[in-house]
Amino acid sequence: MNRQDLENRLRADAERLGASCPPHVRHRVAERIRHGEGRPSHRRIGVPALAGAFAATVFAFVSVWMLWQPSGVERHDARTVDLNAAPVVAKSDRMLASREAALENEWQLLERDLRILRDHVTATFDKNPNS
Amino acid sequence: MSPEVERDLVRRARSGSLDAFDALMRAHQDRLYRFVLVRGASSADAQDIVQDTFLAAWRYLDGYRERWRFSTWLYTIARRQASGRRMDHAELPESLVDPGEGPDQAASAGERRENIWPVARKLLPSDWFGVLWLYYAEDRKTGEIARILGRSAAWVKVTLHRSRKRLAELIDAADWLPEEVVSK
Protein backbone atom coordinates (compact mmCIF):
# COMPACT_ATOMS: atom_id res chain seq x y z
CA MET A 1 0.00 0.00 0.00
CA ASN A 2 1.52 3.30 -0.99
CA ARG A 3 1.31 6.42 1.10
CA GLN A 4 -1.42 8.06 -0.94
CA ASP A 5 -3.68 5.04 -0.72
CA LEU A 6 -3.09 4.77 3.02
CA GLU A 7 -3.88 8.42 3.59
CA ASN A 8 -7.02 8.25 1.52
CA ARG A 9 -8.17 5.21 3.39
CA LEU A 10 -7.41 6.74 6.79
CA ARG A 11 -9.47 9.83 5.94
CA ALA A 12 -12.34 7.94 4.38
CA ASP A 13 -12.58 5.40 7.18
CA ALA A 14 -12.49 8.11 9.84
CA GLU A 15 -15.63 9.58 8.30
CA ARG A 16 -17.32 6.22 8.76
CA LEU A 17 -16.64 6.24 12.50
CA GLY A 18 -19.26 8.30 14.19
CA ALA A 19 -20.00 8.95 17.82
CA SER A 20 -22.89 10.84 19.21
CA CYS A 21 -22.42 12.44 22.58
CA PRO A 22 -25.54 11.96 24.72
CA PRO A 23 -27.37 15.30 25.05
CA HIS A 24 -27.64 14.97 28.82
CA VAL A 25 -23.89 15.72 29.04
CA ARG A 26 -24.44 19.17 27.59
CA HIS A 27 -27.54 19.70 29.72
CA ARG A 28 -25.64 18.77 32.86
CA VAL A 29 -22.92 21.27 31.99
CA ALA A 30 -25.47 24.02 31.41
CA GLU A 31 -27.20 23.13 34.66
CA ARG A 32 -23.99 23.29 36.66
CA ILE A 33 -23.07 26.61 35.08
CA ARG A 34 -26.50 28.02 35.97
CA HIS A 35 -26.02 26.88 39.55
CA GLY A 36 -22.96 28.98 39.88
CA GLU A 37 -20.23 26.52 39.01
CA GLY A 38 -19.03 28.83 36.37
CA ARG A 39 -16.56 31.35 35.28
CA PRO A 40 -16.09 34.10 37.85
CA SER A 41 -17.26 37.46 36.53
CA HIS A 42 -14.35 39.15 38.20
CA ARG A 43 -10.86 37.90 38.53
CA ARG A 44 -10.37 36.58 42.02
CA ILE A 45 -7.30 37.52 43.96
CA GLY A 46 -5.51 34.25 44.38
CA VAL A 47 -3.08 33.16 47.04
CA PRO A 48 0.02 33.87 44.89
CA ALA A 49 -1.18 37.41 44.22
CA LEU A 50 -1.81 37.97 47.92
CA ALA A 51 1.61 36.60 48.85
CA GLY A 52 3.25 38.84 46.25
CA ALA A 53 1.41 41.92 47.50
CA PHE A 54 2.37 41.12 51.08
CA ALA A 55 6.03 40.65 50.13
CA ALA A 56 6.03 43.92 48.20
CA THR A 57 4.53 45.77 51.17
CA VAL A 58 7.10 44.35 53.56
CA PHE A 59 9.90 45.22 51.16
CA ALA A 60 8.64 48.80 50.88
CA PHE A 61 8.44 49.21 54.65
CA VAL A 62 11.91 47.81 55.17
CA SER A 63 13.32 50.07 52.44
CA VAL A 64 11.80 53.19 53.98
CA TRP A 65 12.96 52.17 57.46
CA MET A 66 16.52 51.65 56.21
CA LEU A 67 16.54 55.02 54.45
CA TRP A 68 15.57 56.75 57.65
CA GLN A 69 18.30 55.11 59.68
CA PRO A 70 21.22 57.41 60.73
CA SER A 71 24.57 56.75 59.15
CA GLY A 72 27.07 54.39 60.77
CA VAL A 73 29.45 57.12 61.99
CA GLU A 74 27.60 58.83 64.76
CA ARG A 75 30.16 61.40 65.69
CA HIS A 76 31.99 63.17 62.88
CA ASP A 77 34.17 64.91 65.43
CA ALA A 78 35.19 61.63 66.95
CA ARG A 79 38.43 61.77 68.80
CA THR A 80 41.38 60.31 66.97
CA VAL A 81 44.71 59.20 68.26
CA ASP A 82 47.73 59.86 66.01
CA LEU A 83 48.23 57.11 63.46
CA ASN A 84 45.42 55.08 64.90
CA ALA A 85 43.06 57.55 63.36
CA ALA A 86 39.80 55.76 63.05
CA PRO A 87 36.31 56.97 63.48
CA VAL A 88 34.72 55.98 66.66
CA VAL A 89 31.76 53.92 65.68
CA ALA A 90 29.27 53.07 68.26
CA LYS A 91 25.90 51.52 67.87
CA SER A 92 24.88 52.23 71.37
CA ASP A 93 25.87 54.42 74.26
CA ARG A 94 27.33 51.47 76.00
CA MET A 95 29.67 50.58 73.15
CA LEU A 96 30.57 54.21 72.75
CA ALA A 97 31.51 54.51 76.42
CA SER A 98 33.70 51.42 76.36
CA ARG A 99 35.45 52.56 73.20
CA GLU A 100 36.09 56.00 74.64
CA ALA A 101 37.50 54.40 77.73
CA ALA A 102 39.80 52.25 75.63
CA LEU A 103 41.00 55.24 73.65
CA GLU A 104 41.59 57.19 76.83
CA ASN A 105 43.66 54.33 78.15
CA GLU A 106 45.70 54.16 74.96
CA TRP A 107 46.22 57.90 75.11
CA GLN A 108 47.57 57.65 78.65
CA LEU A 109 49.89 54.79 77.75
CA LEU A 110 51.21 56.78 74.82
CA GLU A 111 51.82 59.81 77.04
CA ARG A 112 53.68 57.63 79.53
CA ASP A 113 55.84 56.15 76.77
CA LEU A 114 56.64 59.62 75.50
CA ARG A 115 57.61 60.77 78.99
CA ILE A 116 59.90 57.78 79.44
CA LEU A 117 61.46 58.44 76.04
CA ARG A 118 61.95 62.12 76.88
CA ASP A 119 63.54 61.27 80.21
CA HIS A 120 65.80 58.73 78.55
CA VAL A 121 66.96 61.21 75.90
CA THR A 122 67.50 63.91 78.49
CA ALA A 123 69.53 61.56 80.67
CA THR A 124 71.65 60.46 77.75
CA PHE A 125 72.53 64.03 76.72
CA ASP A 126 73.17 65.00 80.33
CA LYS A 127 75.74 62.21 80.77
CA ASN A 128 77.63 62.81 77.52
CA PRO A 129 77.17 66.41 76.33
CA ASN A 130 79.69 66.00 73.46
CA SER A 131 77.90 63.20 71.69
CA MET B 1 -19.39 26.31 11.77
CA SER B 2 -17.39 29.06 10.13
CA PRO B 3 -14.46 30.62 12.03
CA GLU B 4 -16.23 33.99 12.11
CA VAL B 5 -19.36 32.54 13.70
CA GLU B 6 -17.25 30.61 16.17
CA ARG B 7 -15.27 33.72 17.11
CA ASP B 8 -18.49 35.60 17.66
CA LEU B 9 -19.86 32.83 19.87
CA VAL B 10 -16.65 32.75 21.90
CA ARG B 11 -16.79 36.52 22.33
CA ARG B 12 -20.40 36.35 23.50
CA ALA B 13 -19.68 33.43 25.80
CA ARG B 14 -16.83 35.38 27.32
CA SER B 15 -19.23 38.16 28.16
CA GLY B 16 -21.37 35.61 29.97
CA SER B 17 -23.81 34.31 27.36
CA LEU B 18 -24.71 30.73 28.23
CA ASP B 19 -26.67 30.42 24.98
CA ALA B 20 -23.53 31.15 22.99
CA PHE B 21 -21.57 28.63 25.00
CA ASP B 22 -24.33 26.07 24.50
CA ALA B 23 -24.03 26.59 20.76
CA LEU B 24 -20.29 26.00 21.01
CA MET B 25 -20.88 22.82 22.99
CA ARG B 26 -23.40 21.58 20.45
CA ALA B 27 -20.93 22.22 17.64
CA HIS B 28 -18.05 20.36 19.26
CA GLN B 29 -19.49 17.75 21.59
CA ASP B 30 -19.66 14.83 19.16
CA ARG B 31 -16.13 15.15 17.84
CA LEU B 32 -14.79 15.77 21.32
CA TYR B 33 -16.62 12.70 22.57
CA ARG B 34 -15.24 10.65 19.70
CA PHE B 35 -11.72 11.97 20.36
CA VAL B 36 -11.91 10.81 23.98
CA LEU B 37 -13.41 7.46 23.03
CA VAL B 38 -10.71 6.60 20.52
CA ARG B 39 -8.06 7.42 23.10
CA GLY B 40 -9.28 4.45 25.07
CA ALA B 41 -11.88 5.76 27.49
CA SER B 42 -15.00 3.85 28.33
CA SER B 43 -18.28 5.42 27.34
CA ALA B 44 -19.06 6.55 30.90
CA ASP B 45 -15.56 7.98 31.37
CA ALA B 46 -15.76 9.74 28.03
CA GLN B 47 -18.99 11.45 29.04
CA ASP B 48 -17.44 12.58 32.32
CA ILE B 49 -14.35 13.85 30.53
CA VAL B 50 -16.43 15.78 27.99
CA GLN B 51 -18.48 17.30 30.79
CA ASP B 52 -15.39 18.30 32.79
CA THR B 53 -13.80 19.67 29.64
CA PHE B 54 -16.72 21.95 28.89
CA LEU B 55 -16.89 23.13 32.48
CA ALA B 56 -13.18 23.92 32.47
CA ALA B 57 -13.55 25.67 29.12
CA TRP B 58 -16.32 27.86 30.50
CA ARG B 59 -14.32 28.63 33.62
CA TYR B 60 -11.14 29.53 31.78
CA LEU B 61 -12.61 31.00 28.63
CA ASP B 62 -10.67 34.20 29.21
CA GLY B 63 -7.48 32.20 28.81
CA TYR B 64 -8.34 30.98 25.31
CA ARG B 65 -6.09 32.47 22.64
CA GLU B 66 -7.50 32.69 19.15
CA ARG B 67 -4.27 31.72 17.45
CA TRP B 68 -5.54 28.13 17.94
CA ARG B 69 -8.84 26.75 16.80
CA PHE B 70 -11.39 26.54 19.59
CA SER B 71 -11.64 22.78 19.08
CA THR B 72 -7.85 22.47 19.45
CA TRP B 73 -8.13 24.21 22.80
CA LEU B 74 -10.94 21.84 23.79
CA TYR B 75 -8.91 18.80 22.78
CA THR B 76 -5.99 20.07 24.85
CA ILE B 77 -8.20 20.41 27.90
CA ALA B 78 -9.77 17.01 27.26
CA ARG B 79 -6.37 15.36 26.99
CA ARG B 80 -5.41 16.86 30.35
CA GLN B 81 -8.71 15.86 31.90
CA ALA B 82 -8.19 12.33 30.63
CA SER B 83 -4.64 12.05 31.91
CA GLY B 84 -5.80 11.13 35.41
CA ARG B 85 -8.10 8.37 34.25
CA ARG B 86 -7.60 4.86 32.99
CA MET B 87 -7.49 4.85 29.20
CA ASP B 88 -6.58 1.26 28.53
CA HIS B 89 -9.17 0.04 26.07
CA ALA B 90 -7.11 -1.52 23.34
CA GLU B 91 -10.05 -1.72 20.97
CA LEU B 92 -12.32 1.00 19.71
CA PRO B 93 -15.57 0.94 21.69
CA GLU B 94 -18.80 -0.39 20.26
CA SER B 95 -20.35 3.05 20.41
CA LEU B 96 -18.06 3.95 17.52
CA VAL B 97 -19.70 1.39 15.29
CA ASP B 98 -19.18 2.21 11.69
CA PRO B 99 -22.54 3.59 10.50
CA GLY B 100 -21.92 2.09 7.10
CA GLU B 101 -21.35 -1.37 8.50
CA GLY B 102 -24.76 -2.16 9.91
CA PRO B 103 -26.18 -5.63 9.14
CA ASP B 104 -28.29 -4.36 6.23
CA GLN B 105 -25.54 -2.33 4.67
CA ALA B 106 -23.02 -5.09 5.15
CA ALA B 107 -25.35 -7.55 3.47
CA SER B 108 -25.97 -5.24 0.56
CA ALA B 109 -22.29 -4.47 0.15
CA GLY B 110 -20.60 -7.71 0.91
CA GLU B 111 -17.33 -6.59 -0.54
CA ARG B 112 -17.08 -3.61 1.80
CA ARG B 113 -13.61 -3.57 3.28
CA GLU B 114 -12.74 -3.49 6.96
CA ASN B 115 -12.35 -0.08 8.61
CA ILE B 116 -8.66 0.66 9.07
CA TRP B 117 -8.95 2.51 12.38
CA PRO B 118 -9.77 -0.45 14.66
CA VAL B 119 -6.80 -2.19 13.05
CA ALA B 120 -4.58 0.82 13.73
CA ARG B 121 -5.81 0.92 17.33
CA LYS B 122 -4.70 -2.66 17.82
CA LEU B 123 -1.40 -2.39 16.00
CA LEU B 124 -0.02 0.95 17.09
CA PRO B 125 1.08 2.24 20.50
CA SER B 126 -1.45 4.55 22.06
CA ASP B 127 0.59 7.73 21.49
CA TRP B 128 1.19 6.88 17.86
CA PHE B 129 -2.47 6.18 17.29
CA GLY B 130 -3.36 9.53 18.88
CA VAL B 131 -1.11 11.39 16.46
CA LEU B 132 -2.47 9.50 13.47
CA TRP B 133 -6.05 10.11 14.55
CA LEU B 134 -5.61 13.83 15.08
CA TYR B 135 -3.86 14.24 11.75
CA TYR B 136 -6.20 12.27 9.51
CA ALA B 137 -9.51 12.04 11.35
CA GLU B 138 -9.51 15.45 13.01
CA ASP B 139 -7.55 17.20 10.26
CA ARG B 140 -5.09 18.88 12.63
CA LYS B 141 -1.74 20.31 11.63
CA THR B 142 1.38 19.00 13.32
CA GLY B 143 1.72 22.16 15.41
CA GLU B 144 -1.80 21.74 16.69
CA ILE B 145 -1.21 18.08 17.49
CA ALA B 146 1.93 19.02 19.40
CA ARG B 147 -0.11 21.54 21.33
CA ILE B 148 -2.88 19.07 22.12
CA LEU B 149 -0.58 16.25 23.18
CA GLY B 150 1.95 18.43 24.96
CA ARG B 151 4.79 17.22 22.73
CA SER B 152 7.22 18.85 20.35
CA ALA B 153 6.35 19.36 16.70
CA ALA B 154 9.40 17.29 15.74
CA TRP B 155 8.16 14.38 17.82
CA VAL B 156 4.78 14.60 16.14
CA LYS B 157 6.33 14.55 12.66
CA VAL B 158 8.56 11.59 13.45
CA THR B 159 5.71 9.69 15.09
CA LEU B 160 3.41 10.39 12.18
CA HIS B 161 5.97 9.04 9.74
CA ARG B 162 6.60 5.92 11.83
CA SER B 163 2.91 5.29 12.35
CA ARG B 164 2.18 5.46 8.64
CA LYS B 165 5.11 3.22 7.83
CA ARG B 166 4.30 0.60 10.41
CA LEU B 167 0.62 0.57 9.53
CA ALA B 168 1.31 0.23 5.82
CA GLU B 169 3.79 -2.59 6.42
CA LEU B 170 1.39 -4.47 8.65
CA ILE B 171 -1.52 -4.05 6.30
CA ASP B 172 0.58 -5.17 3.34
CA ALA B 173 1.67 -8.19 5.32
CA ALA B 174 -1.92 -8.96 6.27
CA ASP B 175 -2.98 -8.71 2.64
CA TRP B 176 -0.91 -11.68 1.49
CA LEU B 177 -0.60 -13.73 4.68
CA PRO B 178 -3.31 -16.31 5.29
CA GLU B 179 -5.94 -15.25 7.83
CA GLU B 180 -4.87 -17.85 10.40
CA VAL B 181 -1.28 -16.55 10.33
CA VAL B 182 -2.31 -12.92 10.75
CA SER B 183 -4.57 -13.72 13.66
CA LYS B 184 -1.62 -15.30 15.46
* Chain A closest-CA separation from residue B4 CA (Å): 23
Q: How far is CA A23 from the centre of its chain?
A: 58
Name every chain B residue with its beta carbon within 8 A of the beta carbon of A25: 29, 33, 47, 50-51, 54
Residue A24, classified by CB atoms within 10 Å of its CB into exposed (0-12), middle (13-18) or buried (19+), is: exposed
ipTM over 0.95: no
> Residues of chain A whose C-beta is under 8 A from some C-beta in B?
1-3, 6-7, 9-11, 13-14, 16-22, 25-26, 28-30, 32-34, 37-41
Rounded distance between C-alpha atoms, residue B131 and residue B144, angstroms: 10
How large is the average pLDDT for residues B78-96? 73
Q: Which of the pair, B179 or B56, is modelled with greater confidence?
A: B56
Residue B31 has pLDDT above 60, yes or no: yes
| Contact yes or no for A17 and B92 at CB 8 A | yes
Listed as ranges, residues in chain A with pLDDT below 70 are 1, 37-45, 70-91, 127-131
Percent helix, strand and coil across chain B, each to the nearest 5? 75, 0, 25
CA distance linking residue B41 with residue B36, whole number of Å: 6
User: Which residues are CB-contacts of B104 (< 8 A; sequence separation ≥ 6)?
Assistant: none
Task: State the pTM of this model.
Answer: 0.63
Select the residue of A3, A26, A34 nearest B29 (Cβ to Cβ).
A26
Query: Higher model confidence: residue B83 or residue B160?
Result: B160
B111 neighbors B64 (Cβ within 8 angstroms) = no
Contacts of B37 in chain A (CB under 8 A): 19
pLDDT digits (tens, 9 = 90+) for B96-129: 655 555 444 444 444 456 788 888 888 888 889 9
